[in-house]
Structure 1
Amino acid sequence: MSYYKLSAWSVSKEIDLNALAKSFEIPKRFTWEEPIRLYGEVLKNLLQEETVQEGEVFLFYFGSIVLLNGETHWVEKINKYLGKNNLCKLLENWRHFNDEYELVEETGADQCNDSIAKLHSISPYHIELSAITLAKSVALERNELQIEQILNQAESLIERLENGKTRMADKKLGMISASILRHEYDSVSYVLILDKPDITWTVSDANAYYEKLSIIFELADRYEILKQKTDTLRHIVEGFTAVNHGTRSYIMEVVILILILVEVILMLLDLIL
């Protein structure tokens, strides 16, 4: 009976896979959606361990690391190597974004849930697609926490409006807007939630398996929720910005009127005197 255990972490917003491949003299250029797989001697050299048995490591551009039959301490060593060689900027709370999945080969009909897939025959694409799904799921978890933090900032804008405080520095508003755009860019361009792996277009069974995992891990639904929250945040910031600029315009108009009035008074005084 074949058994595989996958463990995933989101350790960074981006990992420079091509620089990593170059450091191990891997003659290949990796695209955004393609993970790098380390195993055998390359993995031994990275981990500085005598044996890694059947273990493998998947690293994704969008900052996720997935271990296949690996040990938890491998992640610490991989992160240390990535940080030492400036291949990524590690998240302080990366241990929080973690998930696991198991693949077991058993007779009978295939069954999948959120923790294990029981398959009558495990193919390489089952492992690859499970790793991709886990990698996207933990990256989404990172973005879900990020959007909650941005929402907390936006809540302060609503409170300011409720208290009649409509003025704020453009720099601070710009920082909030940038955090919203960064969140959306990370979700769409980096994590590629809505993109399907290439193998799903050529192997129907692979497509069915990936679709099943995507539903189990609610990738599309979670992405839609993030998108709705992002739209809400954008509307809040745009509304506050409009009020902020309107207040400034009103103040400028008042200042101009005062200056005109002063100028008229001075002219009258000059005529009288």
Structure 2
Amino acid sequence: MDPIKFKAASLCNEINLNQLAKHFGFEKKFQWDEPLFLSSNQLKGILKLPENKSAYIFSFGSIVFLNFEHHEMVDLVDYLKNIEKELFNASIDYFDDYSLILDPDEDVTVSYDYMSIPELKDFYFEIIAVVLAKSTALDRIEVGINILLDDIEDMIHFLEKGHLNISDERLARVSGKILGFKYNTISYVMLLDKPDITWVNEESQNLYNELEKLFELRDRYEKIRHKTETLLDITDVFTSLAHAKRGTRLEWMVIILIFAEILLSIIMYIWK
């Protein structure tokens, strides 16, 4: 049996699963922590060769493709763009892959690139898909945080030179992005939550814990959390300095107005 190839991509912050589910004929309402599974039957008409192919779509913007070629991944994403507006500008920039190998003569072996198993069990697919989806979503968040750090670094250089010409709009925009990264990491990516199947199947729980550790999901989450808190502390400093500068400017304006009023009163008294 050929290896089952998993290819994961993080496309955006959020995908409306219920919108997609309605299009594909699912009557149930999907919860925020449930992936939408598309089998080869749902992929007919989208892919030329849908046999033995499937996909997991996650609400936090990741899709995991099973046995897809790259052009087939593009075909599915382009198809979904016509249904879900959040995917309209999506591109496959954050990507990871993994293989599941069936080898009856070997015990279960888990490595960074592949997993070898003696027999197929349904939960293997979902657990691998969940971990890969979270990992690629973290990749996208990490890149965004690093870009924001560069932006903050430029602001610090201006401050070191004695300049503080930072608008409230820019500070609000930066703070909003930082909070957005923090919110996306905790709520959308659901890093601290395990799939439901792990609560009823001890073997699936052990596998999830092992893959979570292998892909360093919690360590990467902690680094993102630390960076976002550091960035928020820095923006708080900028906000305080900017407000202090405006307060000083306002005080000088009041002093100048008082002085002008006194001067005007003196001039009016002399002219009398």
Q: Which residue of 1 aligns with 2:102?
A: 105
Q: State the Cα distance separating 1:261 from its structure 2 match.
A: 1.1
**Aligned-partner residue type, residue 213 of structure 1:** L
Q: Which residue of 2 aligns with 1:58?
A: 56
Name the count of aligned residue pairs: 270
- Contact map agreement 1:167 1:247 (CA 8 A) in 2: no
Task: Kindly provide the CA deviation profile for residues 174-219 of structure 1, in whole angstroms up to 9, marking residues without a partner as x.
Answer: 1111111111121111111111111111111111100000000000
Q: State the Cα distance separating 1:90 from its structure 2 match.
A: 4.5
Task: Kindly provide the CA deviation profile for residues 3-61 of structure 1, in whole angstroms up to 9, marking residues without a partner as x.
Answer: 321111112222221111111221111111111111132111333x2x42211111111
Q: Which moved more, 1:155-164 or 1:263-272?
A: 263-272
Q: Which residue of 1 aligns with 2:46?
A: 46
5+ residue gaps in structure 1? none
SS for the counterpart of 2:13 is coil
- Contact map agreement 1:39 1:57 (CA 8 A) in 2: yes
Q: 1:78 to 1:87 in 2, by over 3 A?
A: farther
Q: State the Cα distance separating 1:2 from its structure 2 match.
A: 7.0
SS for the counterpart of 1:229 is helix
Q: Which residue of 2 aligns with 1:234?
A: 232
- Contact map agreement 2:98 2:113 (CA 8 A) in 1: yes
Q: Which residue of 1 aligns with 2:20?
A: 20
SS for the counterpart of 1:128 is helix
TM (norm. structure 2) is 0.94
Task: Kindly provide the CA deviation profile for residues 63-95 of structure 1, in whole angstroms up to 9, marking residues without a partner as x.
Answer: 111111222222111111122223423556x33
Whole-angstrom CA distance in 2 between matches of 1:2 and 1:46? 23
Whole-angstrom CA distance in 2 between matches of 1:91 and 1:137? 21
Q: Which residue of 2 aligns with 1:8?
A: 8
- Contact map agreement 1:104 1:119 (CA 8 A) in 2: yes
SS for the counterpart of 2:164 is coil
SS for the counterpart of 2:46 is helix
- Contact map agreement 1:13 1:186 (CA 8 A) in 2: yes
Whole-angstrom CA distance in 2 between matches of 1:2 and 1:71? 14
5+ residue gaps in structure 2? none
- Contact map agreement 2:178 2:231 (CA 8 A) in 1: yes
Q: State the Cα distance separating 1:158 from its structure 2 match.
A: 0.6
SS for the counterpart of 1:161 is helix
SS for the counterpart of 2:179 is helix
- Contact map agreement 1:36 1:60 (CA 8 A) in 2: yes
- RMSD of Structure 2 on Structure 1 (CA): 1.6
- Contact map agreement 2:46 2:79 (CA 8 A) in 1: yes
**Aligned-partner residue type, residue 78 of structure 2:** K
Amino-acid identity (%): 35
Correspondence list, 1:35-184, <5 A: 35-47=35-47, 49=48, 51-91=49-89, 94-106=91-103, 107-184=105-182
- Contact map agreement 2:20 2:84 (CA 8 A) in 1: no
Task: Kindly provide the CA deviation profile for residues 133-184 of structure 1, in whole angstroms up to 9, marking residues without a partner as x.
Answer: 0011011100010001111111111111101112321111111111111111
Whole-angstrom CA distance in 2 between matches of 1:81 and 1:88? 13
Whole-angstrom CA distance in 2 between matches of 1:230 and 1:54? 41
Whole-angstrom CA distance in 2 between matches of 1:195 and 1:53? 32
- Contact map agreement 1:19 1:87 (CA 8 A) in 2: no
Q: Which residue of 1 aligns with 2:211?
A: 213
